[in-house]
Amino acid sequence: MQLRSRLGPALVGLAVAGGAVAAALLGPAGPAVGQSSPPVQAQIRVSSPATLGANGASVDVSVTASCAGVASTAVQVTLTEAVHGDIATGFGNGTVDCTGKSETVDVPVIVLIGTGTATPPEVPSQDFTTGPAIAQGFIQACDADGNCASQQPERVIEIKK
């Protein structure tokens, strides 16, 4: 009986000490009770007009983006244009700082390979030209806990020289 009465407090002491070591090594698990991380926010707007570049191989598209709750995030633009009975399409990305304030960046959209209707399909799609095009912006911001916010607006823009 005496062994059992000494063993109980020793096991409790060992469990408490082990928990303290684990807490010291792992650090805090998250915000304290009553506190919360700032919410993750992400917004993007594609501007018009866009600027034709590199003899039609690229288009510079301005986007205005804002995000909060993370340090920075990527913005993406996909551009599609009907050109002489074919399709010109491309993709580009950039980065914005997530300060909660709007930031405007120019995203270079480059013509993709293998999207044209020509044979073989490895040839580039048509080059971009001046005129209307469909632009789709994309932004997604995620914090360390996996909380995410995203937006993917689409609109018709004008490509100019």
**41-56 average pLDDT score:** 97
pLDDT at 20: 43
Q: Same domain, yes or no, for 102 and 24?
A: no
Average pLDDT value for the chain: 80
Structure tokens given for 99: 């300060």
In a domain, 35, yes or no: no
Percent of the chain with pLDDT over 90: 63
**Mean pLDDT, residues 14-37:** 45
Same domain for 73 and 21: no
pLDDT over threshold 70, residue 62: yes
| Cα distance between residue 109 and residue 51, in whole Å | 10
Which tens digits make up the pLDDT trace of 132-147? 999 999 999 999 999 9
Number of domain units in the chain:
2
Domain for residue 34, yes or no? Answer: no
- Verify that 47 and 112 share a domain, yes or no: yes
Residues 100, 66 contacting (CB under 8 angstroms): yes
pLDDT higher than threshold 80 for residue 16: no
**Which of 61, 87, 62, 81 is CA-nearest to residue 132?**
81
- Is the pLDDT reported for residue 21 higher than 80? no
Q: Which residues contact 120 (CB under 8 A, 6 or more apart)?
A: none
Residue 113, in any domain of the structure:
yes
- Judge whether 110 lies within some domain: yes
Residue from 62, 147, 58 nearest 96 by CA? 62
Taking the model in full, what pTM does it have? Answer: 0.72
Instruction: Tell me whether residue 15 is exposed, middle or buried, using C-beta atoms within 10 angstroms of its C-beta: 0 to 12, 13 to 18, 19 or more.
Output: exposed
> Domain of 145: which CATH number?
2.60.40.2550
**Shared domain check, 136 and 113:** yes
Let me know whether 56 and 23 are in one domain. no
d(C-alpha 156, C-alpha 23), whole Å: 54
Considering only residues 1 and 109, tell me which one the structure prediction assigns the higher pLDDT.
Answer: 109
Mean pLDDT to the nearest integer, 121-142: 88
